[in-house]
Chains A and B, each alone.
Chain A
Amino acid sequence: MGALSKWPFKVTSFIAGEDLWRGIVAIAVFLFFWEIGSRSEALFGFAFPWVGQVPAPSAVLKEIYRLIQEPSFWHSAYLSTFRVLEGFFAAMLVGIPLGLAMAVSRTFYGITFPVFEVLRPIPPLAWVPAAIIFWPTQELSIAFVTFLGAFFTIVINVIGGAQSIDVRYFQAARSMGSSTFDIFRRIILPGVLPSIVVGATVGIGITWAVVVAAEMISGGGSAGSMGGAAGGGLGFFIWNSYVGGSYTQIVAGMISIGIAGYMSSAILRKIGEWMTPWLAES
């Protein structure tokens, strides 16, 4: 009855001890099996399926150590990050006002939401060719596609957040004599803030995925002629490593992207918590 008696799962106790150690043990076991699997050819004479082809963690670690000393690697990282932030902020800039407008005016919502919902299922990457045709430069088309990735998520979350603001807050404000602008500023904006934070944290993850994908497609891909090399970035780096046959670099690149993605989500979440102190559990 262990799980039942300790319900609900408290995050704070994670630091307390057994959780941390069990997690470490699990990761260690995982890394161990990965290492063995990668070396299976040498150790057992035959390669394990799938894992046998993957470079070993030890080799990857060495590669990472080498890479962090190379300026070109950091340049790629910087490029990718820049693209992510570009697209992400554009999405916030356009998405938040649009979402608020849709939440506030039912007429506007009725007109725009169906079109929005029809465009939403189209994966952002499917827009790449259209974007390339439309925008004058390669950078702008990638930026546009990146923007799309986060845009839909942010708008949906903003609408959801605005709609869930308890109507009694509005009634209370009106009864105290607030003007419409005041209501907007003091009720709607703070009320929507948690949802914006949620949308942003999720959106940035999507943005990373799109940026990496776009870089890979522009730099490589079976088509290969999506308008020449798009000037680096981590996605391009990974694809290049593959083409160049350096498998350890592939994994090193993947790990870097993973770390970058995780850090950007974590930073956003921290900013979000700072902006919405009233949500913190006492």
Chain B
Amino acid sequence: MIARDSPEPDWARGYYRAQNKLKIKSHAMSETELTHSRVIASARENTGGHVSTLALTTHRVLQWLQSPRPYLMFIGFSLFLGFWYLAVEVWKLPRFAEMPGLTAVVSEWLSKNPTYGLSIFMEEYYLHIWVSTRRIAIAFFLATAIGVPLGLFLGWSRRFKQYVFPVFELLRPVPPLAWVPLAIVMFHGSETPVIFLTFLASFYATALNTMLGVESIDVSYIRAASCLGAKRWQVFRHIIVPGALPFIFTGLQISVGVAWFSLVAGEMVSGQYGLGYVINTSYTMVRYPTIIIGMVTLGIVGYVTSAAIRLLGDYMMQWRTRELALGGDR
């Protein structure tokens, strides 16, 4: 199970232990598992043993389409959007008086000549998306480049952890946005403080999850490797790093989410351009539909970045994807 939305995995050790004791298996999966094994068995016979990852993925997509899930999803969205539409434009509920309606937002977003200047046809729109994404990219890569090695060492070397972790933990409780004024004082310019904020939040999530990943590696693997003659650095390279990879990627997904959180906050306070800035100024300039456009765009871009990382993780951890697709361990 993934610990979602948590930059703080202190609790996670107990949580994961509890999980393992309960032996995770959602019982609703059992039917799908049976079908899987049947399909895999027949696929094995046909292809002579090796089922490709593509085949497994295609199979799962087809399975999904045949389940009730796409239709329930459709119902859910219809209810949500329908309610929004009705509340603002048809029933005209008092609370929703000033809210931009669904049609207003959609028509604005998709219009070639938007009233307030932002739609999918306007260049400025993509400029804002680009600026925000660029900031995220810089901060995220920095955070990963520093956070992953740091996390690996924190988990690997007890002495290192004794020295470094207390300082790390000391600074962590301060929320990212509380750093804004100090960041403005420390770094000159308007770009750097924003990127610094984003970096900070991202860095903590990555480093902590990586450390937890290393500490969660079953000691038997390390012992087996030493038995087989691996020296310390070899154990690090062949056991620790791949073994912590699942946690690292969970941490990266969380880190990207937290990065967006901080970035938007930073942009709203002190930025020029960017999606946070768009939302902020749309409010002050009474361009309400654009607020929603900004929010929706943020949601999409945020989701895409998170999904990209997850896909990268799935690719790098082939062994896991295949194991899970085949229904877990037997």
Contact = CB atoms under 8 A, between A and B. Distances in A.
Check A-B contact in the complex, CB < 8 A.
yes
B329 interface: no
B195 interface: no
B65 interface: no
Contacts, number: 265
A25 B156 CA distance: 20
A257 B178 contact: yes
B35 interface: no
A257 B181 CA distance: 14
Nearest to B261: A123
A125 B321 CA distance: 35
Contact of B179 (A3, A110, A254): A254
Interface in B1-29: 1-8, 10-12, 14-15, 18-19, 22-28
Contacts of A279: 14, 18
B182 A250 contact: yes
A126 B177 contact: no
Contact of B8 (A25, A130, A205): A205
Interface string A34-48: 000000000000000
Interface stretch (B49-57, B95-103, B113-121, B311-319): B95-103
A22 B287 CA distance: 56
Interface string B158-176: 1101111111001101111
B211 to A, nearest CB: 10
B68 A110 contact: yes
A26 B298 contact: no
Interface stretch (B76-84, B122-130, B141-149): B76-84
Interface residues of B, number: 99
B185 A121 contact: no
Nearest to B23: A166
Contact of A22 (B14, B77, B162, B219): B162
Place the interface of chain A in its size category: 35 or more
A254 B177 CA distance: 10
Contacts of B306: 121
A232 interface: no
By CB atoms of chain A within 10 A, which of B23, B27, B71, B219 has the most?
B27
B109 interface: no
A217 B175 contact: no
B70 to A, nearest CB: 9
B326 to A, nearest CB: 20
Query: Majority SS of interface residues in chain B?
Result: helix
A88 interface: no
Contact of A216 (B69, B156, B269, B284): B269
A122 B302 contact: yes
A4 B226 contact: yes
Interface of A: 1-4, 6-9, 18-19, 22-27, 30, 50-51, 53-54, 106-107, 109-115, 117-130, 132-134, 152-153, 156-157, 160, 163-167, 170, 191, 194-195, 197-198, 201-202, 205-206, 208-209, 212-213, 216-217, 220-223, 225-226, 235, 238-239, 241-242, 247, 250-251, 253-255, 257-259, 261-262, 265, 269, 272, 279
29 contacts: A4-B232, A4-B235, A9-B158, A9-B161, A26-B162, A30-B170, A115-B76, A115-B79, A121-B257, A122-B298, A122-B299, A130-B291, A130-B292, A152-B5, A156-B4, A164-B19, A198-B15, A212-B177, A212-B178, A216-B177, A216-B180, A220-B269, A221-B268, A225-B284, A238-B178, A242-B180, A247-B185, A254-B182, A257-B178
Interface of B: 1-8, 10-12, 14-15, 18-19, 22-28, 68-69, 71-73, 75-77, 79-80, 95-96, 98-99, 156-159, 161-167, 170-171, 173-182, 184-187, 215, 219, 222, 226, 232, 235, 257, 260-261, 263-265, 268-271, 275-276, 279-284, 288, 291-292, 294-296, 298-300, 302-303, 306
